[in-house]
Amino acid sequence: MYLVENPVLQRELLVNLRMFRSFVLLFFYQAMLAAVVYFAWPQQTRLEANAEAAKGLVDMFFLGQYILASLMAPSFAAGAVTGEKERKTYEMLLASPLKPAAIVLGKLLASLAHLAILIFASLPIVMLCLPLGGVSLYEVLAAYLGLTLSVITFGMISVACSSYFQRTAASLVASYLLILPLALLGVLSWRAFAGEGEVRLLLTLIVLPGISAAICFALFANTAARLLHPPDVGSEGKEVVDLEQEAQEVVGLVIQRDQFPDKLFAPPKRVDLLDDHANPVYDKEVHSEIFSQGTLMLRLVIQVSMILAIPIMAVCLFMFSNQAPWYIAYVVTFNMLVGPVFSAGSVTSERERQTLDLLLCTTITPWQILWGKLIAGLRVSSVLTMFLVWPVLLACLMVPFYWKNMPQVGAYFLIILLTCATTAVLALFMSVLFTKTSVSLM
């Protein structure tokens, strides 16, 4: 029931692994790793006297693979349960004879099976680096063990987030917010013990399995308990949220929809007629719920992103100001992960709701449709990203000594704005190409 005769696992594996995009993704994954090895390959003609170049090559390979796998794990697992809710099959799945633990295990293994194939398919590439010396086979196996445990942990986090929300976009954003700091911690820990192979081996074989097991077992039990006694069944799992009552009872961050800057990403519901010559697509996208569930998910995204950014902000901007570019890199990474969520479903959601043909039959031009959806998604992602950027400007304005750095700060702002625009346009382009939001997000 759990592994051999698990219908959830069998169905997901048959559907996912036989799709054409699986082979395309495998090709691009291997191509990216091969490019990392090619550009990091040492240029010395003799390496036996100094193995540091070979060690750096292997480190670069595993860091590249770790980052790719960490970013891809939520895209595979974050829609495990929310996909059932969106397809309106969630209650039928819960009513089946399957145990909740079997459902969770099947969803987890099915979502990570393709990623496991990608990881182990990279073994021939890393084997090219071993003859250079400096790295033993045991270190490589330990690195793969650590990578596998990290991916399983990130997948379990994504499945747990998927059980709490009704939409894949909300689950994906929450997963990235939780996984990004853990991935950064893993990268920094790997780099900190670059010259101590024994310490790396002990941490990978002793510390990491314990931490991973604790997180996975806790989240697995919690997710199975939620499926056993689901709080979101009835009316196909949808909840009606009274915005006025929510604003009165909310604790912590309060979003005032009619005030600046809240109205930039969560404007109030329209109660009057639409102006002449206005773009109805843009107006509809801006005034609709971003994640459903009222402002809960939006408040969660803002608070979690700020809480996670505070330690990095304190270290990079105030304790060691010469490390400020690393904080900008964190903000850019945040937008690269979260930004596409708001635009990747712009057109695919119309296809999934079977309203795209109706939209194309209206008098609205394709330019108005795409422009309205692009600006609406870009508006939300840019405002959420700028919440992380204002401390940089505040740090420069409050300290006169830093006024001379204003040109560099302006360049940082320009890089972040270009990143916001690029992620939004690319996500919208993928939404036009593909038919499913999950594929477009990936």
- Reading the block at residue 40, the tokens are 């990091």
Q: Residue 250 domain-assigned?
A: yes
Q: What is the pLDDT of residue 153?
A: 92
Q: Does one domain contain both 92 and 226?
A: yes
Question: Do residues 212 and 259 share a domain?
Answer: no
Instruction: Give the pLDDT of residue 157.
Output: 92
* pLDDT band at 214; cut points 50, 70, 90: very high
Share of residues in the chain with pLDDT > 70 (%): 79
**Domain housing 280:** 245-441
Residue 167 domain flag: yes
- If one counts the domains in the chain, the total is 2
Domain assignment of residue 184, yes or no? yes
Residue 324 has pLDDT above 70, yes or no: yes
Q: Which of 182, 216, 236 is the last residue of a domain?
A: 236
Q: Are residues 29 and 79 in the same domain?
A: yes
Indicate whether 303 and 396 sit together in one domain. Answer: yes
Question: Are 209 and 282 found together in one domain?
Answer: no
Q: Pick the last residue of a domain from 207, 236, 265.
A: 236
> What percentage of the chain reaches a pLDDT higher than 90?
3
Please tell me whether residues 168 and 249 are part of one structural domain.
no
CA distance 66 to 330: 17
- pLDDT for 385 equals 85
pLDDT value at residue 306: 75
Q: Which residues contact 18 (CB under 8 A, 6 or more apart)?
A: none
Q: Has residue 289 been placed in a domain?
A: yes
Q: Which long-range contacts (CB under 8 A, 24 or more apart) does 428-434 make?
A: 428/343, 428/344, 428/346, 428/347, 428/370, 428/373, 428/374, 428/377, 430/340, 430/344, 431/343, 431/344, 431/345, 431/346, 431/347, 431/348, 432/347, 432/370, 434/348
Q: What is the pTM of this model?
A: 0.76
Question: Are residues 218 and 272 located together in one domain of the fold?
Answer: no
Pair (232, 261) in one structural domain? no
11/99 same-domain check: yes
pLDDT number for residue 253 = 58
Structure tokens at 50: 């100094």
Confidence of residue 442 (pLDDT cuts 50, 70, 90): low
Query: Tell me: the pLDDT tens digits for 5-55?
Result: 677 667 666 666 677 777 777 888 788 878 877 777 766 655 555 566 667
Give tens-digit pLDDT for 385-401.
Answer: 888 887 777 777 777 77
Q: Note whether 22 and 113 are same-domain residues.
A: yes
Of 210-214, 313-317, 413-417, which range is least confident?
Answer: 313-317
In this prediction, residues 239-262 reach a mean pLDDT of: 56
In a domain, 302, yes or no: yes
Residue 182 structure tokens: 């853990």
How far, in whole angstroms, is CA 160 from its chain's centroid? Answer: 14
Same structural domain for residues 225 and 310?
Answer: no
Distances (CA, A) of 8 to 106, 123, 130, 185, 243: 5, 29, 40, 33, 37
Mean pLDDT, rounded, for 257-264? 63
Pair 229, 307 in one domain: no
Q: Give domain status of residue 2, yes or no.
A: no
- Is residue 19 one of the residues assigned to a domain? yes
Q: Using the predicted structure, report yes or no on whether residue 362 has a pLDDT greater than 80.
A: yes
Torsional class of 320: left (φ above 0), alpha (ψ -120 to 50), beta (otherwise) = beta
Cis peptide bond prior to 340, omega within 30° of 0: no
Give the position of tokens 């900008």: 328
The set of residues, in sequence order, having a beta carbon less than 8 Å from that of 350 and lying 6+ positions away, is 356, 359
Q: What is the pLDDT of residues 290-318, one digit of tens each?
A: 555 555 566 667 777 777 777 877 777 77
Distance between CA atoms of residues 356 and 358, nearest Å: 5
Where does a domain end: 236, 256, 275? 236
State yes or no: pLDDT of 77 exceeds 70. Answer: yes
The answer to whether position 1 is within a domain reads: no
